[in-house]
Amino acid sequence: MRRAMKNILPEKVRNRRTKANMSPSFRHGLLNHDRELLEQVMQNHLYSVEGYINTKVLSNSYEQLLSASQMQYPPSSTGMPPWQVAMFALWLHHSKLKQ
């Protein structure tokens, strides 16, 4: 990846060994650009993941995501974050449609 970005990124950026924390930007995009999709999944598609995850824990994590400020929202230590569950639920839904 570093070699592919040669002459595209500044050398200082291309060769750095640390990673940036993208969590605040990711959360912002999720809640401001993809919130409608996330809401739709949380309201209409959780039935498809009930056999895999604890939906009460997911609901609590989702409420935390909606109510916490950018810096307060912790990485999920109780299971999958809501966005991962949403993607899993959508994948299951679309997989069943293809059958």
Residues with pLDDT less than 50, the chain:
76-79
pLDDT at 99: 66
pLDDT at 20: 76
Q: What angle do CA 60, 66, 70 make, to 5 degrees?
A: 115
pLDDT tens-digit series, residues 85-99: 999 999 998 888 776
pLDDT at 78: 43
Provide the mean pLDDT of the chain: 82
Element (H, E) at 13: helix 11-14
